[in-house]
Chain A
Amino acid sequence: MTTEKSAPSPMDRVWNFFISVKVAIFTLIILAVASIFGTIVEQNQPLEKYHEIYEDWAFALMDRINLFDMYHSWWFLALLVLFTVNLTCCTIDRFPKVLKVVRNPRTKLDEGLEKSVSLSDRWKKKGTVSEWAPRYAEALASAFSKPRVTEGDGEVHLYAETGVASRFGVYVTHLSIIIIFIGAIVGNVAGFKGYVNIPEGESVSSVAVRGGSRMQDLGFTLRCNSFRVDTYPNGQPKAYVSDLSVIEGGREVLRKKDVVVNDPLQYKGIWFYQSSYGDAGGTTARVAARRSDGTPAGSLSLPPNEPFFIEGYGSIRGVNYDRNFQGNGPALQVVVEKPGKPAENFWIVQGRPDLDRQRKDSMVFSFGGLNTKMFTGLQVARDPGVNIVWVGCTLMVIGIIMAFFLSHQRVWLRLAQGPDGRLAVVLAGSANRNRLAFEKKFEKIQTGVKAVAS
């Protein structure tokens, strides 16, 4: 890109805008400030809720600028695009220059460079350039790093450097951000996020996609074998546990008995995360029937208000439940109807199997508790971009450490024959990071170089 001296072309102006660090800082601050709004206004709530909170004019304005889903609004995405374009242009503009500097470092300490570096020292010595050059090279190697030697015009220039990688840290970091964005886009385009509720004992082969009415086919069947909540001694929930099976081609191909929060099930790139649970309806009461002589006559599972017929006896149905019946604990109220006799209505109490004997009937009923059918709620996700995101994240940490904790340190040493016939030595150094620390290091290099070559 060539720039004319007088008036830059419109193209150049656009380019100069996007390679500006001022624009970068501005974008960072604007992104930060804009992000605050979305944390104050709760996002993605039902519109009625916003109507309740805000005045009509405020609601209209906020709705207009997508403040209720602002992180997906066109203007927030535009800010992210500006951020990315700025980042990319800065890199395209600066990276080749840095690469050039690193590949072809200034190995000769000319006068211009000598003036521009912050640290330098000069001294004179008896002897000649050719006599001292190898000894200074050796001294610099042991005090700092092995130098490159450049000869010309009767002068010898030594150049040594460490921590070149420091120059690339910023580009690794910038690249990592772009990689993360690519991963996010891949995930959004090629993946899906959904949820599904599966009652115990039932199966699904498709799930609802979040934020839409679309169903996503899984390509296999997922069955919930059971669900339970484990609790701590104080009653607080300890774990939500789903027992799940993957069924493919009519066969169980995978079973995970303890899918809990923070331990998902994965099959063919689709992940299932324990997320919620609930009552699936269809509560039944467990009732055991015995004949009066004690021989068992069956375990009954009674849905509410539906009579169960016992051959040669009559019917029984559960009509009411009390968690603590007259202080005796959980109990079930049942109605027994026998052909040609008035209906009997009585309570049976859990944990007291012989209580019903006082009815002096041919059949004794006891209550074994309620069976509540639960459903497990699962978040479902397939995200083919997620590993790209992790690569980006890893690079980001590496890049930041390279950028701030490495320092590109350069040391030059020039040997020239002065007009007085003595050897004129100039030592100079610079560092791109942590200059205070380099000042101390430079002092050591100074003494090291002077001592070895004295």
Chain B
Amino acid sequence: MNTLNVQLFDLTTLLFGGASGTYIVAMYGRKEIFARIGTWICVAAAIVSTAALGVRWAESYKMGIGRIPVTNLYESLVFFAWSVNLFYLFVEWKYKSRAFGAFVIPIAFLTMLFAFTNESGIQPLVPALQSYWLHAHVITCFVGYAAFAVSAGVAVMYLLKARQEETKTTEGIIAHLPSSKALDDLVYRAIIWGFPFLTAGIITGAAWANYAWGTYWSWDPKETWSLIVWLVYAAFLHARITRGWHGKRAAILSIVGFLATIMCYLGVNLVLSGLHSYGG
């Protein structure tokens, strides 16, 4: 029997699945009402998952090991999905378009499915993680990751849309996406949100490392991959602003950046070895 927080997270998974479905149906069936339902499901998912995080936090206190629920793979995945969903809702509200949902919410859904296959128990915190830096570090990194996820999702939309505009066809679902110009702009906008958060995430990580081990940078694989991600997006921003990289090349670079982000977030722990905890 799972505890309440895990049941709430399972419900969140179902909601993300439902929202992904309705957004896709809305696109295929060209029914705005489905997209509207998708939004409301996402709002519900945001409420349920926020409550689940709170309940999990409270449950950890009841177990006498109280700590923020972002310290193992399961928690980190649900927190990532939570961040993507919130960042997505922000974008939807800001850009007044529900067309992005079909490309972004499935990322949250797949993340929750992956979380579902992992051990969901609350473990006590190892000594290395007992620090207030944990909060600042994890939150800044994840807002950054979520922004990059949204950017890559929109970049895929851009590539599909641009190809259709080139061939001047207006058939199918792609026709209902925002204009390629707007998508291109959003690829960039999401990155300029992600970049300062990633920067702050790396800096808070360095500050924490310095406080825990007396060295702010030790070329540990996780640190190095976060730097690689930072360098890729730095290259993107320079190419975009000073060399006018728009459209296809920018979209591909955004997708490359997100692949590097996934490597930094999950690959390092699952493939390589290092100082971060949720690998095992």
Interface residues of A (CB under 8 A from B): 21-22, 24-25, 28-29, 31-32, 35-36, 38-40, 42-43, 71, 184, 193, 232-234, 236-240, 260-262, 264, 271, 273-275, 379-381, 383, 386, 389-390, 393, 396-397, 400-401, 404-405, 436
Contact = CB atoms under 8 A, between A and B. Distances in A.
B270 interface: no
Contacts of B207: 390, 393
B231 A29 contact: yes
Contact of B127 (A39, A237, A396): A237
Contacts of A28: 231-232, 234-235, 238
Contacts, number: 115
A393 B206 contact: yes
A55 to B, nearest CB: 21
A275 B213 contact: yes
Interface in B188-213: 192, 195-196, 199-200, 203, 206-208, 210-213
Given A28-B234, A232-B124, A379 B196 contact: no
Contacts of B200: 397
B127 A240 contact: yes
Contacts of B280: none
B238 A21 contact: yes
Given A43-B219, A273-B212, A35 B227 contact: yes
B243 A381 contact: no
B221 interface: yes
Nearest to A29: B235
Contacts of A238: 124, 127
B250 to A, nearest CB: 12
Contacts of B231: 28-29, 31-32, 35
Contacts of B213: 273, 275, 379
Interface string B57-72: 0000000110000000
B139 to A, nearest CB: 14
Contacts of B217: 184
A24 B130 CA distance: 39
A36 B224 CA distance: 8
Given A38-B224, A39-B224, A239-B127, A381 B214 contact: yes
A193 B209 CA distance: 14
29 contacts: A31-B231, A35-B224, A35-B227, A38-B219, A71-B219, A71-B224, A184-B217, A232-B64, A232-B124, A234-B124, A236-B123, A237-B126, A238-B124, A260-B127, A260-B130, A261-B128, A261-B130, A262-B128, A262-B130, A262-B208, A262-B211, A262-B212, A264-B214, A275-B213, A381-B215, A396-B203, A397-B196, A400-B196, A401-B196
B225 A262 contact: no
Interface string B67-83: 00000000000000000
Nearest to A33: B228
Given A261-B127, A261-B212, A21 B196 contact: no
Select the residue from B123, B208, B216 with max chain A CB neighbours within 10 A: B216
A22 B243 CA distance: 8
A377 to B, nearest CB: 12
Given A237-B127, A238-B124, A400-B199, A32 B228 contact: yes
B7 interface: no
A263 to B, nearest CB: 8
B243 to A, nearest CB: 6
Contacts of B273: 42
B219 A386 contact: no
Given A232-B124, A234-B124, A264-B211, A404 B195 contact: yes
B128 to A, nearest CB: 5
Nearest to B182: A436
A71 B214 CA distance: 19
A386 B131 contact: no
Nearest to B217: A184
Contact of A386 (B203, B210, B238): B210
A397 B203 contact: yes
A193 B199 CA distance: 26
A405 to B, nearest CB: 7
A273 B199 CA distance: 26
A318 B218 CA distance: 47
A24 B126 CA distance: 41
